A and B are shown apart, each in its own frame.
Chain A
Amino acid sequence: MTTITDNAVPATGRSTTDEMVAFIIMAALLAAVPLTGLYPYFVMQALCFALFACAFNLLIGYSGLLSFGHAMFLGTAGYVTAHALKVWGVSPEIGIILGVVGACALSVLTGLIAIRRQGIYFAMITLALSQLLFFIYLQTPFTHGEDGIQGIPQGMMFGFLDLSNTTTLYYVVLAIFLLAFLLIYRAINSPFGEVLKSIRENEQRAISLGYKTDQYKFLAFVLSGSLAGLAGAVKVFVAQNASLTDVHWTMSGEVVLMTLVGGLGTVFGPVVGAFVIIAMQQYLAGFGQWVTVIQGAIFVICVLTFRRGVIGEIAHFFKRSL
């Protein structure tokens, strides 16, 4: 059985220098955004989704687990952060921490249930759990149902960073994104990441080598869920609301699409994929429902002809690891 990321693995060995150069270029480009005419809110939103997609990719790209319910972590952290900021009046950094803790707790609970099955069953279970949560959020009072939590104060981070200032907010979002990106990068290049990859390639072999694979998969799931929660918590400051869209299963589908377009199991693929999809939604908004059709078509084209994704194809062409 071929694994889902076979096509993405570069022909040559991994080279961390390529990846570090690419990281510096990415960081420099993103840091220069406020100097250009680009709409900062668009880039910030794309950064939140890029972080979400990177967290998702940590799970599918490096441990071969397709979670079809990842929106539940994004949405839960968003609700927790939004509620903490608005009702409890906590400072931004505490709000973000609470959001991540909420997503982490949720990923522990769901991970314990879902990790016991693999492949498509894992996908279906995570999808069903996220739908369960969607209905719960629809009914509980604190989420305000269809209206969502609106008008969230942005506040002063650490007491001196005024998040209502667009440029300050932009650099805070960028800093969080880059730190989380490096954390994910560190995780996949650690012994832990190597074990995950060996599980992805051949779980039976990893078990016979003495690894408790369920524990590794569980850890990857919790890490991925918590980082997706970080994306959701930061997104609250950008969008200034938390709503049901972020928990709905279509959002889980979108993050799969972002990762697939960029390249499953590549380091930079999810970032590129997120920017492509968010830009598409932004600029094709006038087409109404046709956007869904276009997204579906991209899914089909990617799966049939373009399984490496944008970054995967580039990496394959230049025989580099990205």
Chain B
Amino acid sequence: MQALYAQLLVGLINGSFYALLSLGLAVIFGMLNIINFAHGALYMMGAFVAYFLLNLFGINYWWALILSPVIVGGFGIILERTMLQWLTGLDHLYGLLLTFGLALIIQGVFQNYFGSSGLPYAIPDILKGGVNLGFMYLPIYRGWVVIFSLVVCIATWYTIERTRLGAYLRAATENPTLVRAFGINVPRMITLTYGLGVGLAALAGVLSAPINQVRPLMGADLIIVVFAVVVIGGMGSIMGSIITGFALGVIEGLTKYFYPEASNTVVFVLMVLVLLVKPTGLTGRAN
């Protein structure tokens, strides 16, 4: 049973990353109509920025949790201003291709300087060790990752669905021209939204740095699983991507326990099954 709980925990942690990443993708897709293929690369950058902050400047994990999303988010804003904004009005596919190119560039540069091996990032002292829950031993850091990302996900959901700013955001997604007529700076809102989505990816990167090592390709294969999560969830709602993200992480964890051979493929198999029954995904709207 110990092993089952351990795999469930691993599943929940992976689910946190899926949820944070697919949430960022959904936010960006809502405003920019772009599937951000560079999301995995930006997640990797988030982890690397945390690594640099610690090893070059001695800035600890807690500051990295704030600074890394801000720095990488700022980088995202530069990308949006200099490149992505020129694609408005073109087919969605150009956004996919452009961000794919950006992902290749970012990953290639990091691979050049750091090879493909992993760099260690220490768990902060307070989160070291674990607690015995009676039925299992819980490493504190892992519990922290799950709870912290849940809080971030729900905060993002609240901002978008329940605040005035979120209302503008949703309105601008529906009808940018009308919202602009009300005196709201829509292009700036689009830029900031991209920054926010990228910041969420970077945050996931910082969270994962102590668990998975910091590697240039850490986002490359993850992003395809996240795409499958997005297809299953349908990207129709913010809550949908959060729930789907966590749920698929758990399902993956369970598969690892009961039938390890299929653990790499279970998300994709689920995607096929969901698409056969409901082509728009679980929470998706027809397009």
Binary contact track B111-129/A, C-beta < 8 Å → 1, others 0: 1100000000000000000
A121 at the B interface (CB under 8 A): yes
Of A1-9, A144-152, A239-247, the stretch lying at the interface with chain B is A1-9
Given A4-B93, A300-B83, decide whether A293 and B98 contact each other with a Cβ distance below 8 A.
Answer: no
Residues of B within 8 A of A291 (CB): 108
A295: nearest residue on chain B (CB-CB)? B104
Binary contact track B79-114/A, C-beta < 8 Å → 1, others 0: 000010011011111101110111111111101100
B5 at the A interface (CB under 8 A): no
Find out whether the CB atom of A296 lies under 8 angstroms from the CB atom of B35.
Answer: no
Given A116-B279, A120-B96, decide whether A3 and B104 contact each other with a Cβ distance below 8 A.
Answer: no
Could you tell me which residues of chain A, from 2 to 48, have a CB within 8 Å of some CB in chain B? 2-4
Of A127-135, A165-173, A175-183, the stretch lying at the interface with chain B is A127-135
Report the bound CA distance from A96 to B227 in whole Å.
33
Find out whether the CB atom of A292 lies under 8 angstroms from the CB atom of B231.
Answer: no
A237 at the B interface (CB under 8 A): no
Find out whether the CB atom of B271 lies under 8 angstroms from the CB atom of A292.
Answer: no
Find out whether the CB atom of A124 lies under 8 angstroms from the CB atom of B231.
Answer: yes
Given A124-B231, A253-B104, decide whether A139 and B261 contact each other with a Cβ distance below 8 A.
Answer: yes
Could you tell me which residues of chain B, from 209 to 266, have a CB within 8 Å of some CB in chain A? 221, 224-225, 227-228, 230-231, 261, 264-265
Report the bound CA distance from A109 to B228 in whole Å.
18
Residues of A within 8 A of B230 (CB): 124
Report the bound CA distance from A132 to B279 in whole Å.
18
Contact-residue size bin, chain A (C-beta under 8 Å from the other chain) = 35 or more
- B265: contacting residue among A2, A4, A136, A297, CB under 8 A: A136
Could you tell me which residues of chain B, from 263 to 285, have a CB within 8 Å of some CB in chain A? 264-265, 268-269, 271-272, 275-276, 279-280
A303 at the B interface (CB under 8 A): yes
- B279: contacting residue among A117, A129, A295, CB under 8 A: A117
Q: Which of B83, B100, B101, B230 has the most CB of A within 10 A?
A: B101
Report the bound CA distance from A299 to B86 in whole Å.
15
Report the bound CA distance from A104 to B109 in whole Å.
38
Given A118-B287, A124-B231, A128-B224, decide whether A296 and B265 contact each other with a Cβ distance below 8 A.
Answer: no
Given A2-B89, A124-B227, A299-B100, decide whether A288 and B112 contact each other with a Cβ distance below 8 A.
Answer: yes
- A289: contacting residue among B112, B227, B280, CB under 8 A: B112
Find out whether the CB atom of A293 lies under 8 angstroms from the CB atom of B93.
Answer: no
Given A116-B279, A118-B287, A119-B92, decide whether A298 and B272 contact each other with a Cβ distance below 8 A.
Answer: no
Residues of A within 8 A of B224 (CB): 127-128, 131, 249
Given A4-B94, A129-B272, A297-B101, decide whether A135 and B109 contact each other with a Cβ distance below 8 A.
Answer: no
Find out whether the CB atom of A304 lies under 8 angstroms from the CB atom of B275.
Answer: no
Find out whether the CB atom of A132 lies under 8 angstroms from the CB atom of B268.
Answer: yes
Report the bound CA distance from A249 to B227 in whole Å.
13
Say how far B29's CB is from chain A's closest CB, in angstroms. Answer: 8
Residues of A within 8 A of B105 (CB): 292-293, 296-297, 300
Could you tell me which residues of chain A, from 292 to 322, have a CB within 8 Å of some CB in chain B? 292-293, 295-300, 302-304, 307
Given A124-B230, A127-B224, A303-B87, decide whether A119 and B287 contact each other with a Cβ distance below 8 A.
Answer: yes
Say how far B10's CB is from chain A's closest CB, in angstroms. Answer: 18
Residues of A within 8 A of B271 (CB): 125, 128
Report the bound CA distance from A268 to B279 in whole Å.
35
Residues of A within 8 A of B275 (CB): 113, 116-117, 125
A260 at the B interface (CB under 8 A): yes
Find out whether the CB atom of B102 lies under 8 angstroms from the CB atom of A300.
Answer: yes
Report the bound CA distance from A131 to B264 in whole Å.
10
Find out whether the CB atom of A129 lies under 8 angstroms from the CB atom of B108.
Answer: no
Give me the interface of B with A, judged by CB distance under 8 Å.
35, 83, 86-87, 89-94, 96-98, 100-109, 111-112, 221, 224-225, 227-228, 230-231, 261, 264-265, 268-269, 271-272, 275-276, 279-280, 287
Besides A128-B227, A302-B101, 5 other A-B contacts (C-beta < 8 A):
A119-B91, A128-B228, A293-B104, A295-B108, A303-B101
Top 7 nearest A-B pairs by Cβ distance? A299-B101, A296-B104, A292-B108, A132-B268, A296-B105, A293-B108, A116-B279
